Structure 1
Amino acid sequence: MPDSLPAPAPTMDGVVAAYRNYVSGQLDTLTGQALSLKASIGNNSLEVARRQWLDAQMTWQRVGAAYGSFGDLGSAINGLPSGLPKGSADPGFTGLHRLEYGLFHGQGPAELAAVASKLYADVVELHGKLPTMELAGSDMPLRCHEILEDSLRDNLSGNNDQGSGMALALTSADLDGTRVVLALMRTLVDTLSPGYTAKVTATLDRLGNALARTQDQGTWPAWRTLPLAARQPVTGALGAALESLAYVPALFSTDD
């Protein structure tokens, strides 16, 4: 859970402005992490690099609601090999998931140094372009629900896994991003449905607790190594959270 959640904004324009500031801070963090990851790969410190990759990937997940605004840079930083002619060997497969694939499939500096350098350059470029990128206010209620919806579809399904097995860690980071968006929208949501953010927060807390209980002395296990009995509390809590979050975009819908 984030150390501190942002203050709620009184208007949707305020939500977007505050969220842009939040994203800028996350990209600040990611820039440093990408630089450290680049150095570790260059030094052939691959065990360190694997830990640094997870930290960087979780930071990206926490960006959350802005992902639809990043265009080609977003794909370069967090794209997947699906649909590429040569799959995971395709030159167009770059960024965090390409590093995940390499780091967890026995590759080293010869294969990954250029990938890490490009990741760092792409993050720096994205950060520089962020002030001019459009973040639509109408997207914020949708993203409040979609961040965790995508986590269920992509993380816990294994669709995004390139070898790390870190679906639980990435779902936890997605939960952090969801909490930030909900916190920024709290005043607007509670004006339309008094007290509703407290109800949603309770389901998010349940999910956070279920995720935390899967850890072993602070270490995230691989999702697929967990027995069914250990998975069920997570999937049940995530389903309940998604059910409560689905009402948020409905509150702002202009459909008849």
Structure 2
Amino acid sequence: MTDSLPAPAPNMAAAVTAYRSYVAGKLATLAGQVLSVKASVGNNDLDAARSQWLEAQLTWQRVGAAYGSFGDHGVAINGLPAGLPKGAADPGFTGLHRLEYGLFHGQGPGELAPVAARLHADVAELLGRLPTLELAGSDMPLRCHEILEDSLRDNLSGNNDQGSSMALALTAADLDGTRVVLALLGTLIDNLAHGYATRVSASLDKLGTALERTKTGREWPAWKALPLAARQPVTASLGAALESLAYVPALFSTDD
């Protein structure tokens, strides 16, 4: 992740305000990246479009904890074909994963240009409505754990894969999103359990190292193509990170 982490927030209201600003920046970046995909598709440069799609998908993954607040907008941008009557051919399948499907299943400009155009419009609409969307402070500790929990369930299982085999890259981006939330909540966590945020951060560092070690140069391999010995450090460190993160929501719980 090239972005610096945000400063710890002094209270939950400040954390939500800072996170909203972070999300707005990511959505603005995403809008520009989708325009690049659209241009490459229009020029029939599908190799460039595939690379640009991945950068756009990673930006979305890094949005992280706000996903539960997006509703139908989030589905339009990052939905999957599961459950749709016609599957991947269903008109209701839109967004980043629809682009992924087309780019990695031999579709061309005629099929993909409308998908990219709609995706750009959907991102722009979400960005415009972001100031009015509720980002609940109570959700942030939950999402701090759930981002990587969902990554294990959806990325490393293959559930999200529409042809790119980029599960490891998406998991690394989800790790980035988790770090952002943890950074914002760090002071609040330490007020409740001194030193705990540092210990969680250390577990995330181990996961980051395990993910990086799977790469060949700068290239992410296909998760399922890795030998078991190469997958085990990732799954072990991810499990340990999730165990550490699971305590974060409990710290903020008001239940007796």
* Counterpart residue identity of residue 135, structure 1: L
Residues 201-216 of structure 1: pairs in structure 2 closer than 5 A = 201-216=201-216
Count of matched residue positions in the alignment of Structure 1 and Structure 2: 256
Partner of 1:237: 237
Q: Give 2:3's aligned residue.
A: 3
Contact 1:172 1:208 in 2 (8 A): yes
Deviating runs (4+, > 3 A) in structure 1?
A: none
Q: What SS class does the counterpart of residue 191 from structure 2 fall into?
A: helix
* Aligned partner of residue 210 in structure 1, secondary structure: helix
Offset at 1:71? 1.0
Aligned to 2:109: 109
Deviation per residue, 1:74-108 (Å, 9 max, x gap): 10000000000000000000000000000000101
| Alignment partner, residue 62 of structure 1 | 62
1:1-256 mapped onto 2 (5 Å cutoff): 1-256=1-256
Corresponding letter in the other structure for 1:171: T
Q: Which one is further off, 1-10 or 52-61?
A: 1-10
- Given the two structures, how large is their TM-score scaled by the length of structure 1? 0.99
Q: Distance in 2 between matches of 1:228 and 1:53?
A: 28
Aligned-pair distance for 1:221? 0.7
Q: Aligned to 1:185, what secondary structure does the other structure show?
A: helix
* In structure 1, distance between residues paired with 2:175 and 2:252: 22
Query: What displacement does 1:2 show?
Result: 4.2
State the Cα distance separating 1:110 from its structure 2 match: 1.2
What is the alpha-carbon distance in structure 1 between the residues aligned to residue 138 and residue 3 of structure 2? 27
Decide whether the 8 Å contact of 1:81 with 1:88 is kept in 2. Answer: yes
Identity of aligned residues (%): 77
Is residue 2–residue 176 contact of structure 1 (8 Å, CA) maintained in 2?
A: no
Unaligned runs of 5+ in 1: none
Q: What is the one-letter code of the residue matched to 1:69?
A: S
User: In angstroms, what is the RMSD of aligned CA positions?
Assistant: 0.6
Per-residue CA deviations over 1:58-85 (Å, capped at 9, x if unaligned) read 0000000000111111100000000000
Q: Deviations over 1:124-156 (max 9, x none)?
A: 111111011100000000000000000000000
Question: Conserved in 2, the CA contact under 8 Å of 1:161 and 1:167?
Answer: yes
User: Unmatched 5+ residue regions in structure 2?
Assistant: none
Mapped contact 1:36–1:52 kept (Cα < 8 A): yes
SS in structure 1 at match of 2:91? coil
The one-character-per-residue Cα deviations of 1:137-179 (angstroms, maximum 9, x if unpaired) are 0000000000000000000000000000000000000000000
